[in-house]
């Protein structure tokens, strides 16, 4: 076992060390006699205390006032106390909400043989998910409550006629999609989606074309759905989450 420095110095003759060894400038007291007069810790205690890198004082140094402690204890106390805890600062800037806002819905059309309304919001009346209540099944419109970027998608079954539909935001088309039917004996499908940035009270809906382009279909075996969800929010600028 290697002895700590203080324990090893104690075994040396006083003439072996310089007079001012380990002392501040101007202190002419011999370091060795100071060590010999101190109440030294046992070697294993010093090793345990020093192994913490000065993070805490030895039990002897911590319980003594530096002005009245023995020379060895005061020396250990100054070494451990060199790392003073910095003063506490003021509160930092506000962070983001720990629970992000949510907005999502999905709905499908009921089975119907009646042609859908042309150039008007298309209702998807059978709600699958609408926990926040941002989608209105009666009108087919989604109304934004949380500002941010959203993704909307439509999966339509095409039958008996060609189909053209638009994703519409506040009366303006976001994206348009088309599927030619061509008299096939089986239903076809048409899907489309887009991302869009919304502000509170913006509305998004699906709108089919005019004339022969209204062939959206739903039955007990096949569905047509309209879904949307919040990708990420700008909640910090929203009166809802300010």
**In Å, what is the CA distance from 68 to each residue of 6, 10, 47, 73, 195?**
20, 22, 24, 9, 73
In this structure, the chain runs to a length of 242
181 found inside a domain: yes
- Model confidence, pTM: 0.59
Report pLDDT for 136: 98
CATH of the domain at 192: 2.60.120.40
Question: What is the span of the domain harbouring residue 182?
Answer: 104-233
Report pLDDT for 211: 79
pLDDT in tens, 32-88: 444 444 444 455 554 444 444 444 444 444 445 444 444 444 444 455 556 788 888
Look at the chain and report how many structural domains it folds into.
Answer: 1
Residue 225: strand pairing partners? 108, 155
């Amino acid at each position: 076992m290697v002895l700590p420095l203080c324990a090893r110095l104690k075994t040396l003759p006083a003439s072996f060390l310089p007079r001012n060894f380990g002392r501040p400038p101007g202190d002419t007291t011999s370091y060795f006699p100071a060590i010999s007069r101190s109440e030294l810790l046992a070697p294993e205690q010093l090793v345990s205390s020093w192994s913490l890198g000065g993070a805490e004082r030895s039990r002897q140094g911590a319980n003594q006032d530096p002005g009245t402690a023995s020379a060895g204890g005061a020396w250990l106390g100054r070494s451990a106390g060199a790392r003073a805890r910095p003063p506490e600062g003021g509160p930092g800037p506000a962070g983001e909400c720990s629970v992000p806002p949510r907005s999502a819905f999905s709905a499908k059309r009921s089975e119907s043989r009646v042609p859908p309304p042309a150039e008007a919001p298309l209702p998807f009346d059978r709600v699958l998910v609408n926990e926040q209540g941002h989608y209105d099944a009666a009108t087919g419109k989604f109304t934004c409550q949380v500002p941010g970027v959203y993704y909307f998608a439509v999966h339509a079954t095409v039958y008996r006629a060609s189909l053209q539909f638009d994703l519409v935001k506040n009366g303006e088309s976001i994206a348009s999609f088309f599927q030619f039917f061509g008299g096939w004996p089986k239903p076809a499908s048409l899907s489309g989606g887009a991302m869009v940035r919304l502000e509170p009270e913006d509305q998004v809906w699906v709108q089919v074309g005019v004339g022969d382009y209204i062939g959206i279909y739903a039955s007990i075996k096949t569905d047509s759905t309209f879904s949307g969800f919040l990708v990420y929010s700008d909640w910090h600028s929203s009166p809802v989450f300010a």
